[in-house]
């Protein structure tokens, strides 16, 4: 049974709230586990098959995630986000530890790795909307923007530390050791999640409602909302324009320029530093005035940096451009997330989070082969420019919709 918070309690700033800090610790551990898991999976796949087979294994998880993400939003709203997050991390813990045991004892084929990737993609479709629906149930509304900034910092920390941690585990004991580390990290999140006390929902779903009706109701809610409806279009365009070049185009660009793997690492470091600075800004300030307008302008200006990245001839300058990309795109991302958290009715937040995640985590990964093929045909310049144009359209649309342009975050 869910324990509710005392509504008469004195509000606590997010960075001092034990509830928020426990959630943040669990999220950080889970994010680290994700980073280590993906590195271990890619290494195991490359070691067991051809590059093409390894690529197939790595993309298997994107299919169920894309197909089931909206269903995951319904599940999060019907069952409660804490239950879904706990169950998801428990499944990921058991699966990774089971795979680690299998690798210690034998050499399972690629089909086992593909099956694990399929399970993770399915679990992600449930986990991601539930994670997005948790903050309003553990923090005050005027602290949600700060919580979103803290979440962004935790995500960057997981991305920065997860890869070297997974690499060290692989170097010491192979993929089996890395999967063990990932399983332990998932396990660390469980006791922290179990101690969370959720606020009651201001509205309740009808008991006789079906999952399909709940999904349709959530989509109608988004379509009618003056801010959230347009915001979902902004998020989708930004993700489709940004994710492909960063994940696929960057590696091909570094190869063409002769920067090598270390060059990719430096550019990603620059991007992460810029995005981390944007998250830190929201964490410290708690809000940004005229959030809707700042969000639109940050993506419109960030689009110019994305396009410029393909035409920078020297690595140090490319790193500086990547810092600018991370700062502007990161600011857009944290403001989008903060507006989702503060504008959405908590009863619908699982479904809203699912729709907002659909572009970057569901649809965009399916475009990776197309991005790679386009760069192979025309080179990185035209592809980066086309992606920048999509990102610019995202920012322009945000500025053209009056309700979204005037959207504000609550005072912290």
pLDDT at 271 over 90: no
When pLDDT is cut at 50, 70 and 90, the band that residue 29 belongs to is very high
Residue with tokens 């979902």: 232
* Interatomic CA distance for residues 188 and 195, integer angstroms: 13
Domains and CATH numbers, the chain: 14-194 (1.20.1250.20), 218-405 (1.20.1250.20)
Task: Give the pLDDT confidence of 72-100 residue by residue, as tens digits.
Answer: 999 999 998 999 999 999 999 999 999 99
When pLDDT is cut at 50, 70 and 90, the band that residue 55 belongs to is low
- Find the DSSP H helices in 106-205: 110-133, 135-138, 144-194
Per-residue confidence (pLDDT) for residue 299, from 0 to 100 = 92
Q: DSSP of 350-379, one letter per residue?
A: HHHHHHHHIIIIIIGGGGHHHHHHHHHHH-
Per-residue confidence (pLDDT) for residue 50, from 0 to 100 = 65
Per-residue confidence (pLDDT) for residue 348, from 0 to 100 = 92
Q: Note the Cα 47 to chain centre separation in Å.
A: 28
Phi (first) and psi of residue 333, to 5 degrees: -65, -45
Handedness of CA 324, 362, 160, 285 (dihedral sign): positive
pTM of the entire predicted model = 0.84
Residue 254, both tokens: 């570094």
């Amino acid at each position: 049974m869910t324990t509710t918070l005392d509504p008469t309690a004195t509000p606590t700033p997010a960075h001092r709230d034990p509830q928020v800090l426990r959630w943040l610790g669990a999220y950080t551990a889970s994010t680290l586990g994700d980073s280590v898991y993906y590195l271990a999976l890619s290494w195991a796949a490359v070691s067991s098959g051809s590059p093409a087979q390894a690529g197939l294994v790595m993309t298997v998880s994107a299919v169920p995630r894309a197909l089931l993400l909206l269903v995951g939003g319904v599940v999060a709203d019907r069952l409660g986000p804490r239950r879904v997050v706990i169950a998801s991390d428990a499944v990921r813990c058991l699966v990774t530890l089971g795979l680690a045991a299998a690798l210690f004892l034998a050499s399972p084929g690629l089909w086992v790795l593909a099956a694990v990737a399929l399970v993770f993609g399915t679990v992600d479709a449930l986990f991601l909307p539930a994670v997005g629906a948790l903050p309003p149930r553990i923090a005050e509304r005027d602290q949600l923007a700060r919580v979103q900034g803290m979440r962004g910092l935790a995500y960057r920390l997981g991305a920065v530390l997860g890869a070297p941690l997974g690499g060290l585990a692989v170097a010491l004991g192979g993929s089996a050791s890395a999967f063990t580390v990932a399983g332990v990290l998932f396990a660390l999140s469980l006791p922290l999640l179990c101690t969370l006390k959720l606020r009651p929902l201001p509205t309740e779903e009808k008991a006789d409602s079906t999952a399909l009706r709940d999904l349709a109701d959530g989509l109608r809610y988004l379509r009618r909302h003056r801010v959230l409806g347009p915001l979902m279009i902004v998020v989708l365009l930004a993700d489709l324009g940004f994710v492909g070049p960063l994940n696929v185009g960057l590696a091909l660009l570094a190869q063409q320029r002769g920067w090598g793997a270390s060059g990719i690492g430096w550019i990603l470091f620059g991007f992460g530093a810029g995005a981390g600075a944007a998250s830190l800004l929201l964490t410290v300030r708690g809000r940004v005035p005229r959030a809707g307008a700042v969000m639109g302008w940050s993506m419109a200006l960030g689009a110019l940096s994305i396009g410029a990245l393909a035409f920078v001839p020297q690595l140090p300058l490319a790193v500086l451009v990547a810092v600018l990309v991370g700062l502007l795109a990161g600011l857009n991302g944290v403001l989008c997330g903060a507006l989702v958290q503060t504008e959405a009715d908590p009863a619908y937040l699982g479904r809203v989070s699912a729709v907002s995640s659909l572009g970057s985590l569901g649809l965009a990964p399916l475009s990776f082969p197309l991005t790679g093929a386009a760069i192979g045909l025309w080179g990185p310049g035209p592809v980066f420019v086309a992606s920048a144009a999509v990102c610019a359209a995202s920012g322009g649309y945000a500025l053209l919709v009056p309700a979204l342009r005037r959207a504000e975050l609550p005072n912290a």
